[in-house]
Structure 1
């Protein structure tokens, strides 16, 4: 599988949203330039237009990343009708979300339904990058829906970056396992291995790209 990463996010105890009640979440993610204009309750075409206006480009220059799943057929059609570019991915919406929030990646938005735990990790990344995620829990079936309601969750609530990670004291680290657009995968050498990582800090919004040589004989 291309683009596989190992990722961890840290923040003070009690500041991360508990993702256990509902496995999936509808998400929209973008970077700092358009952080104030997106609205997950608006039609996809409207969000694309808003991001294009914020970035001072045409809608046809906006690229939206979407997980390649049957559940996204309607979303994809709306994006096509709007005139946006679409990039389908098989997995890895955390890496795609980071791309959407960083300059010069060719990605402007992430949209669609993906894992709730990945949504929390994405919120940590957005805290470090100045981007934004909005999410809404998306139960798989009536049993999960009722379980979430019984646990006190409001399924109509729009979850913001701060709802998902309620702190700026955030760290995120991701290392490439296989080659992807965000990170190179592990490369084996005569002395061991070389890894490629991205490390972020929320309070300073510092991003470091690190290449590490590992001596497996030590």
Structure 2
């Protein structure tokens, strides 16, 4: 299982470890970790994390473009960051926004609900080095970057 080495995930890491699951805890990069679960030549079979909604949607696009699968649950700020007065206020604002947009909080969404279409383009460029792509490398006179691009087109495109 790949996850992030973050305090909010320490209980999940401990529980998985006690169950005998081999856990890879990366310092950051939830989108990269999602993509890595779709590649065959790595030790990551499944990912579990608590992260931001934008990263979840980007991950869903990448996973769908690569032919993988995922589910996601939208939780509020208080659930993700801790039950503190300031976080409760942020969480209440988030819940109101979600309700106004017709989004159900604490509902598990399928990949097809997260990414409704099949015409998907995912592209990543490494600025700093990471698990997915290398960072920008200085050559004699130029900087060089590393990119990945994957596209999935639906039958009607």
TM-score of the aligned structures, taking structure 1 as reference length? 0.60
Pick from 81, 93, 97 the counterpart of residue 147 of structure 1: 97
Higher helix share: 2
SS across alignment from 1:145:
helix
Query: Quick one: distance in 2 between partners of 1:151 and 1:121?
Result: 19
Higher relative contact order (CA 8 A, sep 6+): 1
Name the structure where strand makes up a greater proportion of residues: 1
**Is 1:125 aligned with 2:62?**
yes
RMSD: 1.6
Deviates more, 1:138-147 or 1:90-99: 138-147
2:125 pairs with 1:180: no
Secondary structure of the 1:88 match is: strand
Point out where structure 2 has 5 or more consecutive residues left out of the alignment: 78-90
Q: How many residues align?
A: 141
Unaligned segments of structure 1, at least 5 residues: 1-63, 205-218
CA offset digits 1:73-117 (Å, max 9, x no partner): 221121011101111122210001101111011111110211111
**Length-normalised TM-score, structure 2:** 0.82
Task: Find out whether 1:202 has 2:139 as its counterpart.
Answer: no
